[in-house]
Amino acid sequence: MPDTEHLKILEQGVEKWNAWRQANPDVVPKLDYVSLIKAELTNVNLSGAVLLCAILTNANLSGADLSDTNLQVAELFETNLSGANLSRTDLSNANLVSANLSKANLSHANLTNANLRVADLSDANLSDACLSATNLQYAVFKNIEATPEILEEFQKFNANPAHLKIIMNNGNGQWNEWRKANPEVKPVLSHANLRGVNLNRANLSNTDLSRADLSYASLNKAELSGADLSYADLTGADLIGATLSRAKLTFANLSRAQMNYYSDRDDGTSITDLREADLSGANLNDADMRSAILYGANLTDANLKNAKLSDANLYNADLIKSNLTGADLTSANLSLADLVETNLSGATMTGCRIYGISAWNVTMENTVQKDLVISNEDEPVVTVDNLEVGQFIYLMLNNTKIRDVINTITSKGVLILGRFSDPQRKSVLDGLREKLREFDLLPIVFDFDRPTDKDYTETVQTLAGMSMFVIADVTNPKSTPLELEATVKQFKIPFIPIIDISVDPRPFAMLVDLQKSFHWVLPTLQYESKEDLLDDENLKTYIIDRAITKREELRAAKSQEPETMLIRKKSDATPPS
């Protein structure tokens, strides 16, 4: 564990820490297992310190002196170490994924088994560093200073010189001829500089193009199926008619890329194929993807701001948490797409097919929604003008499903009202919820421990109207009396008040009035301990059986025909007795 005195000094800021280090040059700072997430430690002097298993995720250590430091097994994910002195530092088994190590001094550093995946090592000094079993996948290592042996190690993750030479001569068709003659070879063009290169119709299937610079490259009708384009720069690239099915485009930059419908082929059907492509986290800002095939594509967390997606096929696509702000989705097929927490603010969704979508917590401020097709392709066309309403309307149309849903809720739903913010009350109500499940009932919880306004009242009224019966904890209530007043008068369903008399000896006065006026408000159930209330036999006898008996009584009364009276003619009328 860290030395508490050392940690207190560090927490006072870099200036005081560095002054303390200067005044105490012989003291070895002990900061092992310390947590310094997002700490601001620019130019800090940690030379020779012990930071074993320290957590420095997202911390700023740019320019820091970490020479001779023990950082074994340290958590340095996305940490800024640009320009830091890490000479002779022990970083074995450290997590440096996505860390910024540009211009860092790593000479003689121990990076054995360290994870440097996606790290930026540009202009870093790695002279005599130990890179045994180091993960360097997708790392940036431009202009590094290192021994020939280390450079050879990095070369494993760089473009194959022979492959690069052939692709640069693609103008005469040499690349495709080479691919045809060597079908067993997987081309390696990672980190290659292919900016603006003409790669039209090139066969790049299953090629490693990770971290490659393909900005403004012409990839018209290129074959990129199964290619690894992770972290590749495809800014402004021409991908019209390209085949990218099953391609890996994780965190690739496709902003302003052109991927729309193109019709100069003989059959006039050249469409960008991105089916089942991995585009998670990709930057597709302003990308032109009209008519693109994105069937089953993974677009989780992707930036699709202002993207042109009209007529695109997004069937079964994963758009969880993606940013579609201002995107044009006119006539796009979103059937079975996952839109959980998706941002569609300002997007245009006119004529979209939305059959079977999952839309939860979607942001739709100023979204244009019109003529959304909620029916399947083989069903009569039904349109609505609201994405979330569309899901409900389809459920209503499918009578079997909606009947099952309503029957399940009304025959099993139990609304529980009470104060869940009070730990003692929460323990009782949570226990009640768990016990009701054991009796094959469906507990529905509504917490009143907030100011009651029109919206809350309407919510509890809706929930009460769908429930089999209501259990209201009236022990030291807050808003419960008002909510009972709003629901008891509206719904003839059993209401069972419960009160812990060891805490609150009697219920609020208005409850008695409700019980006198509305016979479906049952006598208050008093108990002295949580164990007594949640006892299986007691729960069944005093709550469930009473509720079911009263419910059957109410249902029978509702089914009875009202009495009528006939006014007889005066000639033979006999005054009613």
Taking only the tens place, the pLDDT of each residue in 471-525 is 998 888 877 787 788 889 889 999 999 999 988 888 887 888 899 999 999 999 9
DSSP tag of 389: H
Domain assignment of residue 421, yes or no: yes
* pLDDT at site 320: 96
Helix (H, G, I), strand (E, B) or coil at 475: coil
* pLDDT at site 273: 84
Cβ neighbors of 531 (< 8 A, separation 6 or more) are none
* pLDDT at site 172: 56
Domain assignment of residue 308, yes or no: no
Q: Which helix (H) or strand (E) holds 16?
A: helix 14-23
The 3-state secondary structure of 341-378 reads: CCECCCCECCCCECCCCECCCCECCCCECCCEECCCCC
Domain assignment of residue 362, yes or no: no
* pLDDT at site 152: 76
- Contact assessment for residue 492 and residue 554, using Cβ atoms and an 8 Å cutoff: yes
Tokens matching residue 190: 């990672």
What number of other Cβ atoms are within 10 A of residue 422's Cβ?
A: 17
CATH number at residue 540: 3.40.50.360
Domain assignment of residue 469, yes or no: yes
User: Which of 110, 140, 157 represents a domain boundary (last residue)?
Assistant: 157
* pLDDT at site 459: 76
Tokens matching residue 232: 């590749």
Question: What's the CA angle centered on 356, arms 352 and 362, to 5 degrees?
Answer: 70
Per the structure, how many domains does the chain have? 2
Partner residues linked to 363 by β-bridges: 343
Please report the sign of the dihedral spanned by the C-alpha atoms of residue 85, residue 70, residue 78, residue 277: positive
Q: Which residue has the tokens 């003689």?
A: 108
Domain that holds residue 469: 403-555
Domain assignment of residue 12, yes or no: yes
Domain assignment of residue 318, yes or no: no
Q: Which helix (H) or strand (E) holds 496?
A: strand 495-500
DSSP tag of 388: H
Question: What's the CA angle centered on 170, arms 178 and 218, to 5 degrees?
Answer: 130
Q: How far is CA 397 from CA 351, 403, 465, in A?
A: 20, 10, 21
* pLDDT at site 451: 41
DSSP alpha helix (H) spans, 111-252: 148-155, 161-168, 174-181
Per-residue pLDDT in tens (0 to 9) along the chain, 577 residues: 778 899 899 989 999 999 999 999 899 989 888 888 888 999 999 998 888 888 999 999 999 999 999 999 999 999 999 999 999 999 999 999 999 999 999 999 999 999 998 899 999 999 999 998 888 888 888 889 888 888 877 777 778 888 988 888 766 578 999 999 999 999 999 888 899 999 999 999 999 999 899 999 999 889 999 999 998 999 999 998 888 988 999 889 998 888 865 444 455 556 788 888 899 999 999 988 888 899 999 999 999 999 999 999 999 999 999 999 999 999 999 999 999 999 999 999 999 999 989 888 999 999 999 889 988 887 778 888 888 778 777 766 665 566 666 666 667 888 888 877 778 888 888 899 889 989 988 888 765 544 444 467 777 888 888 889 999 988 888 777 877 888 898 899 999 999 999 888 888 878 888 999 999 999 999 999 999 999 999 999 999 999 999 999 998 888 887 888 888 877 655 565 5
DSSP tag of 171: G
Give the phi and the psi of residue 519 in degrees, each rounded to 5.
Answer: -70, -10
Domain assignment of residue 535, yes or no: yes
Q: Which DSSP string corresponds to 534-576?
A: H-HHHIIIIIIHHHHHHHHHHHHHHHSPPP------GGG----
CATH number at residue 74: 2.160.20.80
Domain assignment of residue 350, yes or no: no
Taking only the tens place, the pLDDT of each residue in 390-415 is 877 776 666 556 666 666 666 788 88
Tokens matching residue 125: 């000094």
